[in-house]
Amino acid sequence: MAFYQKYRSKTFSDLIGQDLIRDTLIEAIRSDKFSHAYLLTGPRGTGKTSTARLLAKAVNCLTLLDLRKNNKEISGEPCNTCDSCLEIGSGRSVDVIEIDAASHTGVDEIRELIEKAQFAPNKSSKKVYIIDEVHMLSKSAFNALLKTLEEPPKHVIFILATTESYKLPPTILSRVQRYDFRRVSKEDIVKNLTKIAKEENLEIDQGSLELIASNAEGGHRDAIVLLEKISSLGKKIDKSSVENMLGIADRKFIFQFLGAIFNANPEEGLKIAHRLYEEGLEMAQFSKDVIEVLRRMLLLSESGKALFEDTTENMASIKDLSQRCTSDQILRLIEVFLRAVTLLKEIAYPILPIEMAIVEGCSQLSTTNPKSKIQNPKQIVNTNIKNTLARHSEAQAEESSEARVKKEDEIGQEDQSTVINQPSTDTVPVVVLQMTNDIWTRAIGEIKQANTSLSALMRDAKPLEYTKGKLVLGVKFKFHKDKISAPENTKILEKVFCELTGDNCTISCKLIDSKPKDSKITDDKELQKAAEEIFS
């Protein structure tokens, strides 16, 4: 017997996560106040059909009927031992009729049901009709059912169950007693799964049970089905086995993946995605997992509290990630991966949409101003320049212009990676000594997109002085100086460096050659090389 049938609620107290409905129905049974029609609505797997069967048991329980007849106090729970309870519980009662409206949508089936409803129950006190997925009935079938609900026989109770109550006609809704079932909480599902695992002699850890409960998304029956599926692996179950069976990636990889994207690190993101792809993970499922984590980050970021359920470990990671980015960034990434999900359905190469999403996501985030602990490239450049100025301001202020030029060549050989956190200065002109290779390459690359010739000229240039609002570049040749100083080129440079440093600075250029300005350049090979770079 399947787990969900074996462990179906046998009493109202067994219902998971529906305390208000349970208490209300038990009180109605105690006071013998039954409605002629009930509507049980809510998400799948939350206990609607089980409640309908319990209600059918309770109204026909011989033990309860006998206690009521003798004016004795009753609990409201079916006894599950009398002939009526046993027949209904095993599905053998001829007076409890279950109908799947999905396969009986026509008016003829409903008319036949209504005709039979006129006859008294065979053995039981009440004839109970349980109509599941009632929203699937046709319009004419609803009209036929409505007539019976308006003037129902006293011996008949209708119990309608649906996941989509909004599809029911208002005339039907106004004639039933409605009960709305909620999604079952993770804690309640885990508690019941623990009990079932114990009964089945399954050795499974808390984290695995929480993962099953979270994956069921509030559907108690779905959680039980998942537990049964996973139990086929053996009596001892670990979290990795659960993840493999459910076809989902270990959430730690999802968090690492998103961390790489929020840090605008496409290389790391691509490595993680390719690793999961090579291990056989479906990229469609991976995209959905990423979107779900982003959704939860968005909810936490906007509400300040969790409006969802997850494992304790996952909650901590989601909170950490949500504090390192803005809601706008999260929304952008959700849009990016939603497009990836759509594209996955259209192409035969499943890793490509993910690769595209990684590159696009990192590109978008690198141009924003995140709250993450890791600085974006623009912040790094600004910090490097200011910290370098602070590091060398005192020594450089005492040097002559010629000494600065000489030292610039020497410093080029030093390690460019160290950053000293000291107070910065914006007043003393100093040599920019910490323009790291990757930053300068980034600048050249952005300049090249606007003007190829200008980027070639910049390969000969060096940053000499930096004051607030002004950056001085040094070049060896007058030809280079004149070209770089041209208004159209200066405008491009100022735009690029302003974006990189975050400051509105102006650009100027001067010669660093010690020869007089009117001296002739004799190094023909060097000049030829420079010209080739510019005009190639």
Tens of pLDDT, residues 407-455: 454 434 443 333 333 333 333 333 333 445 555 677 787 888 888 778 7
Alpha-helical runs (H) found in 247-282: 251-262, 266-278
Tens of pLDDT, residues 111-154: 888 888 888 888 888 999 999 999 988 888 888 888 888 888 88
pLDDT band at 27 (very low <50, low <70, confident <90, very high): very high
> 90: which DSSP letter?
H
**61 in Cβ contact with 105 (< 8 Å):** no
Phi, psi of 459, rounded to the nearest 5 degrees:
-70, -20
- Locate 207 and state its tokens: 């984290």
**Mean pLDDT across 287-294:** 90
Is 318's pLDDT higher than 90? no
**354 in Cβ contact with 254 (< 8 Å):** no
- Cα–Cα distance measured from residue 214 to residue 186, given in angstroms and rounded to the nearest whole number: 6
Q: What is the pLDDT of residue 310?
A: 74
> Which is more confidently placed, 313 or 132?
132
Q: What is the pLDDT of residue 414?
A: 40
- Cα–Cα distance measured from residue 115 to residue 124, given in angstroms and rounded to the nearest whole number: 18
Q: What is the pLDDT of residue 194?
A: 92
> Which is more confidently placed, 313 or 428?
313
Tens of pLDDT, residues 32-91: 888 999 999 999 889 999 999 999 999 999 999 999 888 888 888 999 999 999 999 888
Q: What is the pLDDT of residue 516?
A: 46
> Percent of the chain, pLDDT > 70?
79
Residue type, 281: L
Q: What is the pLDDT of residue 464?
A: 78
Q: What is the pLDDT of residue 358?
A: 92
- Cα–Cα distance measured from residue 144 to residue 135, given in angstroms and rounded to the nearest whole number: 14
pLDDT band at 28 (very low <50, low <70, confident <90, very high): very high
Most confident of 46-60, 222-236, 518-532: 46-60
> Percent of the chain, pLDDT > 90?
22
Least confident span in 196-210, 287-301, 360-374: 360-374
**3-state secondary structure at position 8:** coil
- Cα–Cα distance measured from residue 306 to residue 299, given in angstroms and rounded to the nearest whole number: 7
Q: What is the pLDDT of residue 117?
A: 85
* CA distances in angstroms from 243 to 174, 191, 264, 318, listed in the order given: 45, 20, 28, 18
Neighbouring CB atoms inside 10 A of 387's CB total 18
- Locate 105 and state its tokens: 């949508």
Q: What is the pLDDT of residue 483?
A: 85
> Which is more confidently placed, 200 or 501?
200
Give the residue carrying structure tokens 């350049």: 521
**3-state secondary structure at position 81:** coil
> 184: which DSSP letter?
P
Residue type, 312: T
Q: What is the pLDDT of residue 248?
A: 66
Least confident span in 142-146, 192-196, 391-395, 450-454: 391-395
- Cα–Cα distance measured from residue 29 to residue 430, given in angstroms and rounded to the nearest whole number: 88
Per-position b or e across 255-272, b if 16+ CB within 10 A of its CB: bebbbbbbbbbbebbbeb
Segment holding 526, helix H or strand E? helix 524-535
> Which is more confidently placed, 264 or 391?
264
Least confident span in 272-281, 354-363, 436-445: 436-445
CB-based burial label for 177 (10 Å; 0-12, 13-18, 19+): middle
- Give CA 477 to chain center in angstroms: 56
Neighbouring CB atoms inside 10 A of 398's CB total 7
Mean pLDDT of the chain: 78
- Cα–Cα distance measured from residue 404 to residue 430, given in angstroms and rounded to the nearest whole number: 8
**Mean pLDDT across 494-501:** 77
For the chain, the distance separating the N- and C-terminal CA atoms, rounded to the nearest angstrom, is 78
* CA distances in angstroms from 91 to 53, 84, 427, 487, listed in the order given: 9, 11, 89, 89
**60 in Cβ contact with 126 (< 8 Å):** yes
Per-position b or e across 221-236, b if 16+ CB within 10 A of its CB: bbbbbbbbebbeeeee
- Cα–Cα distance measured from residue 34 to residue 40, given in angstroms and rounded to the nearest whole number: 15
> Which is more confidently placed, 466 or 332?
332
Least confident span in 1-10, 189-198, 237-246, 415-424: 415-424
Domains in the chain, start-ordered, CATH in brackets? 3-180 (3.40.50.300), 186-246 (1.10.8.60), 251-366 (1.20.272.10), 378-530 (3.30.300.180)
**3-state secondary structure at position 129:** strand
Q: What is the pLDDT of residue 507?
A: 86
Is 354's pLDDT higher than 50? yes
Q: What is the pLDDT of residue 382?
A: 41
Least confident span in 25-34, 47-56, 188-197, 203-212: 203-212
- Locate 10 and state its tokens: 């046998």
